Amino acid sequence: MSQPSAYQSLVASFTRLYRYEHLSAMVSWDQATMMPPKGNDARAAAQAELDVLMHATLTDPALAEQLQRAEQEDLSLQERASLREMRREWQRANLLPATLVEAQALAGARCEHAWRSQRTANDWAGFLQNFREVVALSRQEARLLAEAQGCSPYDALMNKYEPGMQSADIDRIFGEVKQWLPGLIAQVMAKQAKEPLHLPQGSFPVEQQRQLGLAVMQLLGFDFDGGRLDVSVHPFCGGVAEDVRITTRYREDDFMQSLMGIIHETGHARYEQGLPRDMLHLPVGRARSMGIHESQSLSFEMQLGRSPAFLSLIAPLVGQYLGEQPALSAANLTGLYSRVHPGFIRVDADELCYPAHVILRYEIEKALMEGEIEAEDIPALWDEKMQAYLGVDTRGNYRQGCLQDIHWTDGSFGYFPSYTLGAMYAAQYFTVMRRDTPDLDQRIAAGDLAVVFDWLQQHIWSQASLHGTNELVQHATGESLNPAYFHAHLQARYLA
């Protein structure tokens, strides 16, 4: 019996790692949706143990020699891409000691679990007690990675979510947005002040909202044999590609946010469900970056979900599950979902104000990881930037201010830019779709969503991580990321 090649040995190790990651993903989903409060300490210890096991798999000394030998083997283009992604994961893991990995898992679990009640109680002081440790450990991680990679601490963390992207790129892109966004928001609000709308009336029972959400998920092609919908404090898409778990949250006085949240998370889920099944067990078979992942959720939510064509398609479903009333007509739903109004909450923000929320968080977390500010400085900076960017007063309102997001509780610093990058990629995709399919909106209104899904499957989902982010976008649209398409999309939707 012949010995396996170095590449085959690597495939075996990374397949084992993927199975551990499967368990980790399900444990995390359960922790956010089903686990009773008293289970958190034991769950955190179990998760930390699993994180250490996955870290040990990636830092096995045999992998270094196998990676080196595999470079000399006769590999296909797909295998070469796979080897590249294996090496990227291996390099990152080998820069971090197991003790740090375990400490981060435990600290993140403590902070996130306590945050659920601290957020509700507006308890910034209580949150800070756990958060300081998360910040310290994240800075330690950032320092180790930055020293080895020759970059800034924040760039080292962002590289986990956006490979190849640097904060200098984000500063330039966001700097341009900050130049035109305030004026556009003011211009649109002045225009919309002359356009009265009917506000939805009544209480909307959670079960009816859930049934509406499930119907829209089915319309969007979600595979219910490979996933499910649940409730959590903070909406998310979790699980694994073969078993995708999405969540939302409901308010009986407002169905709009839960519905659009479901559409958003379904975009994430369709990406996972559309990844090539023969590569899922390897890093090359995963989503390319979180910016690309967010481009799928925002293709569904912003480009498709808030379009007049799609809202006219689902208006009968809304009326069927929530009852007929003038506010739920197709035209009025379009007005409601395009209404611009600066507010406190990022996940509830309209399409135009959303980038300001992201830019604010990016600027704060970057300064925090670079050591320019401390955790105690966050509320004052938050208040200052919310007032400057959106004219919203958050002083003393931690629950709807700096405690609203889950990301920082477990040290996910470097993620926030992915949201607006995703919105920009999505605008670029749909510009190309409309160029290639001039009657796109008419087809959407008629219920023919396959034209959108087929384009995404061909150009994004099926490609997984075979290409770098820039190369993927160039292949799909003919050019690298071009934020001008995002600006043009907003002008067309809100001022036309």
59-114 pLDDT, tens per residue?
999 999 999 999 999 999 999 999 999 999 999 999 999 999 999 999 999 999 99
Judge whether 180 lies within some domain: yes
Q: Is residue 263 one of the residues assigned to a domain?
A: yes
Please tell me whether residues 309 and 191 are part of one structural domain.
yes
Class of residue 339 by CB neighbours under 10 A (exposed 0-12, middle 13-18, buried 19+): middle
For residues 197 and 57, state if they share a domain: no
Mean pLDDT value across the chain: 97
Q: How far apart are CA 285 and CA 224, in angstroms?
A: 22
Residues 168 and 49 in one domain: no
Say how far apart CA 161 and CA 128 lie, in whole Å. Answer: 25
Q: What is the pLDDT of residue 1?
A: 63
**How far apart are the C-alpha atoms of 442 and 309, rounded to whole Å?**
7
Q: Domain containing 184: what range?
A: 161-496
162 marked among binding-site residues: no
Is the pTM for the entire model greater than 0.85?
Answer: yes
C-alpha–C-alpha distance, residues 60 and 10, integer Å: 11
Average pLDDT over residues 15-36: 96
Considering the domain architecture, whether residues 293 and 387 belong to the same structural domain is answered as yes
**Active-site residue, 265 included:** yes
The residue-averaged pLDDT of 252-258 equals 95
Residue 153 counted as domain residue: no
Beta strand 227-231 with 243-248: parallel, antiparallel or unpaired?
Answer: parallel
The token pair at 286 is 């995963």
Do residues 185 and 71 both lie within one domain?
Answer: no
Q: How many domains does the chain have?
A: 2
Q: What is the 3-state secondary structure (H, E, C) of 382-417?
A: HHHHHHHHHCCCCCCCCCCCCCCCCHHHHCCCCCCH
- Which of 94, 125, 141 marks a domain boundary? 94
pLDDT at 161 over 70: yes
326 and 436 part of one domain = yes
Q: Is the dihedral of CA 360, 364, 366, 372 positive or negative?
A: positive
- 225 found inside a domain: yes
> Are residues 227 and 84 located together in one domain of the fold?
no
Q: Annotation-wise, does 293 bind a ligand?
A: no
User: Which of the four pLDDT bands, split at 50, 70 and 90, describes residue 234?
Assistant: confident
CATH code at position 207:
1.10.1370.30
pLDDT for 233 equals 86
From the candidates 85, 133, 265, 351, which is the catalytic residue?
Answer: 265
Is residue 291 domain-shared with residue 411, that is, in the same domain? yes
Q: Is the pLDDT of residue 303 over 70?
A: yes
Q: Where is the domain boundary, 72, 94, 116? A: 94
Residue 103: inside a domain? no
State which of 45, 71, 94 marks the end of a domain.
Answer: 94
Residue found under tokens 């959106």: 390
Strands (DSSP E) contained in 297-432 are none
H/E element, 299: none
Same domain, 76 and 211: no
**118 within some domain:** no
- CA separation, residue 412 to residues 163, 272, 310, 368 (Å): 15, 20, 33, 12
Q: Do 83 and 168 have their domain in common?
A: no
Write out pLDDT tens, residues 343-358: 999 988 999 999 999 9
Q: Answer yes or no: do 69 and 176 share one domain.
A: no
pLDDT in the model for residue 112: 94
Contact 433, 481 (CB under 8 A): no
Residue 17's pLDDT band (cuts 50, 70, 90): very high
Q: Is a pLDDT exceeding 90 seen at residue 2?
A: no
294 annotated as ligand-binding: yes
